Amino acid sequence: MVNAIEQLLLGWLRVPPEPAPPEGAPGSLLLFRAGRNYWRWRLLCWAGAQAALLLLVLLPLLLSRPQPLPAGLTTLLLLLYPLQALFTFFAQRLDYRLRWYIVTDRSLRIRAGLWSVSETTMTFANIQDLRITADPLQGALGLADLEVSSAGGSVSKEPGASPTHLARFAGIDNAEALRDLLLARLKRYRDSGLGDRPEAAPLTAEAAARELLAETRALRAALYPKTSS
């Protein structure tokens, strides 16, 4: 029943199917979802918000003694409350289900959203910093958010502005492992902003050619010691 309603909603909102992975080396592709506990976490947040709404807004309104609400308004509130609860419950469920994280050897892609679908693609060459955050509840559930930001402007403070320069792996249960994986892949970009590693300078063609020249000279010297210059 719940699934049928969801399928109907997804078709009606024309939500595109699973995202296509960005091009990358075969075998490096990693496709995963938010942790199983992410759904529980969203459910708890939803239950908390609903309880707060009920206790702090709805009940005081309905029980206001000196000036009771008109009967029509009371009925409307009592109808609206379960309706919004049902609606937001489905929103939580679909937020969990419509969330994909893809990592390849050179880029990452995050797809999320129901009404407003957003798909972010970022290459590792542009990544500036990684940040792991978790609130106490997330920590207890073994979840964390991993935020990846690229160079440029900060996240806009305006309400409703979509965060750009930022990719967010929300509610994953492998945040540390993923961070280590991303760091390892970042290391191949020497100018990627997380600091250079001078000892890891790759062999350039010029250095190799000089090495070859030195060896060739030494070989001639070994063959004909008198003509060596």
Partner 1 sequence: MVPVPPAIASLTRPAENLFTYYFLRALATLPALPITLPLLYFRYHTMRYEFSPEGIRMSWGVLFRHEIVLNYARIQDIHLRSNAIERWLGLARIEIQTASGSSSAEMVLEGIPDPAAMRDFLYDRMRGASTPTADPNASLAAILHEIAAEMRALRLALNPEAPPLHPHG
Chain residues that interact with partner 1, rule: CB under 8 A = 13-16, 20, 22-23, 105-107, 115-126, 150-156, 161-162, 164-165, 167, 188-191, 202-205, 207-212, 214-216, 218-219, 222-223
**148, β-bridge pairs:** 130, 167
Of residues 40 and 165, the one with the C-beta less far from partner 1:
165
Q: Which amino acid is at 183?
A: L
Of residues 42 and 109, the one with the C-beta less far from partner 1:
109
Structure-token match 């940040």, residue found: 131
Neighbours of 117 (CB within 10 A): 14
CB 205, min distance to partner 1, A: 4
Gap between the terminal Cα atoms of the chain = 89
Question: What is the strand order of the sheet 127-133 is part of?
Answer: 127-133, 144-150, 166-172
Of residues 13 and 52, the one with the C-beta less far from partner 1:
13
Of residues 93 and 190, the one with the C-beta less far from partner 1:
190
With contact defined as beta carbons under 8 Å apart, do 24 and 122 qualify? no
CB 95, min distance to partner 1, A: 15
With contact defined as beta carbons under 8 Å apart, do 149 and 131 qualify? yes
CB 224, min distance to partner 1, A: 11
Of residues 60 and 195, the one with the C-beta less far from partner 1:
195
Cα within 13 Å of Cα(70), Cβ side: 3
Q: Which contacts of 207-214 are long-range, i.e. CB under 8 A and separated by 24 or more positions?
A: none
- Nearest one of 164, 5, 191 to 94, comparing CA atoms: 5
CB 55, min distance to partner 1, A: 33
Of residues 127 and 143, the one with the C-beta less far from partner 1:
127
CB 169, min distance to partner 1, A: 14
CB 168, min distance to partner 1, A: 12
What's the rounded Cα separation, in Å, for the pair 166 and 126? 11
